[in-house]
């Protein structure tokens, strides 16, 4: 496959070598090490609700979140409690123990890709937003249906860096260059306080 054979909605990522991982951040990212990636095609954006709906309509696929867990996988749990659903983020009323994720993630029966926050929510006005509440098995099924494959961790990191190798972030080493917030970052004290950062404008010099 070459760039000349690129499919609509995809872009060719030329192969190359980059430094994968980091010595400076999370333990699971260590050690930083050189990795070679062959050229590959990548979607220009994440799979949307609209695209996933087309897949479901064509195949009848039922996502993991829409299936009741099998009792054999949860011995000792009352089968009546094994309901289809998914975890939904819920901010707390104040500071909490940050070692216990259960304090801000809540299992919501009925939450799934069609109803991301649970019953009463929908994606009607979010058709072009990335699909959420899907598991690995669902993503794999979609990729096979689309005639594609899921990217490896190396491919994802290599593409995200856009050719910038060795920097702490995809855009460089400074987290907020010139005060610009370039990542989807929690603003405030997690998970109970949020604030909206001020808008910035580009300064022409």
Instruction: Find out whether 63 and 81 touch, Cβ atoms under 8 Å.
Output: no
Domains in the chain: ranges and CATH = 3-179 (3.90.1580.10)
Q: What band does 205 get if pLDDT is binned at 50, 70 and 90?
A: very low
Instruction: List, in order, residues 6 or more apart from 141 with CB less than 8 Å away.
Output: 55, 59, 61
Instruction: Find out whether 71 and 161 touch, Cβ atoms under 8 Å.
Output: no
Instruction: Find out whether 61 and 139 touch, Cβ atoms under 8 Å.
Output: no
Q: What is the DSSP letter of 124?
A: T
Tens of pLDDT, residues 78-114: 999 999 999 999 999 999 999 999 999 999 999 999 9
Helix, strand, or coil here: 45?
coil
The residue with tokens 């799934």 is: 112
Residues 140, 142, 145, 150, Cα dihedral to 10°: -50
């Amino acid at each position: 496959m070459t760039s000349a054979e690129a499919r609509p909605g995809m872009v060719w990522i030329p192969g190359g070598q980059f430094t994968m991982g980091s010595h400076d951040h999370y333990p699971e990212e260590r050690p930083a090490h050189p990795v070679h990636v062959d050229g590959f095609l990548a979607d220009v954006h994440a799979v949307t609700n609209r695209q996933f709906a087309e897949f479901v309509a064509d195949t009848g696929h039922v996502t993991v979140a829409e299936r009741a867990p099998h009792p054999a996988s949860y011995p000792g749990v009352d089968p009546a409690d094994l309901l289809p659903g998914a975890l939904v983020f819920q901010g707390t009323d104040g500071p909490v123990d940050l070692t216990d994720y259960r304090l801000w993630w809540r299992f919501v029966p009925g939450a799934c890709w069609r109803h991301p926050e649970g019953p009463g929510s929908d994606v009607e006005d979010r058709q072009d937003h990335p699909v959420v509440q899907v598991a690995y098995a669902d993503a794999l099924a979609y990729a096979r249906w689309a005639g594609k494959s899921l990217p490896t961790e190396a491919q994802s990191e290599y593409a995200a860096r856009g050719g910038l190798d060795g920097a702490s972030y995809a855009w460089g080493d400074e987290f907020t260059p010139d005060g610009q917030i370039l990542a989807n970052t929690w603003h405030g004290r997690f998970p109970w306080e949020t604030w909206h950062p001020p808008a910035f404008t580009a300064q022409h010099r």
